[in-house]
Amino acid sequence: MTAHATRHATQDHDRTGKTVDTETESTRPADGERMRRWRMVLGAESTGCTLTGQDAAMDGALNALYGGGGGRKPGGRGGGGRSAGLGASAPSVARWLGDIRTYFPSSVVQVMQRDAIDRLGLSALLLEPEMLEAVEADVHLVGTLLSLNKAMPETTKETARAVVRKVVDDLEKRLESRTRATLTGALDRSARISRPRHRDIDWDRTIRANLKNYLTIPGTDGGPDTGTVVPERLIGYGRASQSVKKDVILCIDQSGSMAASVVYASVFGAVLASMRTLATRLVVFDTAVVDLTDQLDDPVDVLFGTQLGGGTDINRALAYCQSKITRPADTVVVLISDLYEGGIRDEMLKRVAAMKASGVQFVTLLALSDEGAPAYDHEHAAALGALGAPAFACTPDLFPDIMAAAIEKRPLPIPDKEAQP
């Protein structure tokens, strides 16, 4: 982390986001500059290099978190002589939060904040309004606030809601337009009619459906033969209507490890609920099941209705979802869980098999986040895959495509399919 914070001057990113080394012979730092950078990465005991000015202030901010006084030390930075730390003083933490926002880019600030919460046990300080006003808001901070929700004093809740609102609004701006466009197209394509108007004909499907009616026409005046397809059956897109076309049930595991997934799923739930052609239900669970559908008009209310942590009973949650299905052939159930089941495993699998047999499109997401490969129960994932419900992780950007495929009953666009259980 500290290496990233101090090396950004010699690195860049290609168009895919991959970090690439842009240092050339002409831009390579001199020995003194190289020593300064290593000093920033490794700490005072490593190089003997002295820092001044802003470099010293940056090093102080890093030392407060990663020095010997701040919990366990990361590799490369620390040492027995370190004694700095943030302690438990709210004013000192507030100053430190301001310092790191001054010296480091937002992405690094967010990492350092998470490290501070994990290493130094600063979660309790987030219950103070002045702390929340100083932090850089992101999905991970929202997850931490939700886990503290029940312990949060009334004086802090409004500030916490404002922090969560900012993150949710940013996510909606990023995700809503593409989600609506993708799913609207999928819903229109799924409502196909057999007597379409000319402008509504789906020519690709019409041609494929009528290939058996291919006729060869002999050429004239010695010319080559030609062929044509006689379209006995036309397939068209259904015209847009305000009636509900599909039912969607989002079933979300709210155990502590699923915090980021809960945040994203709540935002997507609100977007789906705003589409009149979808009837969306949102269910969260641990060992109990809570239906938050009536709060879907505001994802912040949904998030504060969750209770991160506790056990997991997927079977009970799926039993509840199954009881709410009235149109199996027009229903998509999305289970978002790491599949660490505390309930009855065999019953859980039987419910999934029964839903699929009735015509339900069943999707299992091990995570809905940008956090990379999640931890999950491989045995349960493999069992679901054997039932035709492959379990895989999904990024927020891919989620609209997953839902569109489920609505149209197409194969799901599973990332890295070969690596899936």
Give residue-wise pLDDT tens across range 25-69.
Answer: 444 556 777 777 777 777 665 566 777 777 777 877 787 777 754
| C-beta separation of 183 from 403 below 8 A | yes
- Amino acid type, 37: R
- Average model confidence (pLDDT) across the chain: 77
- Least-confidence region, from 147-151, 155-159, 170-174, 288-292: 147-151
Q: How far apart are CA 379 and CA 341, in angstroms?
A: 11
Per-residue pLDDT band at 71 (split at 50, 70, 90): very low
pLDDT of residue 412: 92
User: pLDDT tens, 197-223?
Assistant: 666 677 777 787 777 777 777 777 767
pLDDT of residue 117: 73
| DSSP H/E element including 144 | helix 139-147
DSSP state of 126: G
Q: How far apart are CA 322 and CA 269, in angstroms?
A: 18
98-103's contacts with Cβ under 8 Å and 24+ in sequence apart are 98/134, 99/57, 99/60, 99/61, 100/61, 101/136, 103/54, 103/57, 103/58, 103/61
CB atoms within 10 A of CB 31: 7
Percent of the chain at pLDDT exceeding 70: 75
Q: Kindly state the average pLDDT of the residues 131-154.
A: 78
Q: Which residues, listed in sequence order, are joined to residue 368 by a DSSP beta bridge?
A: 394
**280: nearest Cα among 354, 359, 193, 180:** 180
- Least-confidence region, from 52-56, 248-252, 385-389: 52-56
Q: 61-91 as b/e, with b when 16 or more CB fall inside 10 Å?
A: bbbbbbbbbbbebeeebbeeebebbbeeeee
Q: How far apart are CA 180 and CA 345, in angstroms?
A: 35
- Of 15-19, 39-43, 404-408, the range with the highest mean pLDDT is 404-408
State yes or no: pLDDT of 354 exceeds 80.
yes
pLDDT of residue 89: 52
Q: How far apart are CA 237 and CA 187, in angstroms?
A: 9
For residue 262, CA distances in Å to 75, 217, 299, 368, 403 come to 32, 60, 10, 8, 17
**What's the whole-model pTM score?**
0.63
Structure tokens at 352: 């999934």
pLDDT of residue 321: 97
Is the CA virtual torsion 348, 351, 356, 357 positive or negative? positive
CB atoms within 10 A of CB 38: 16
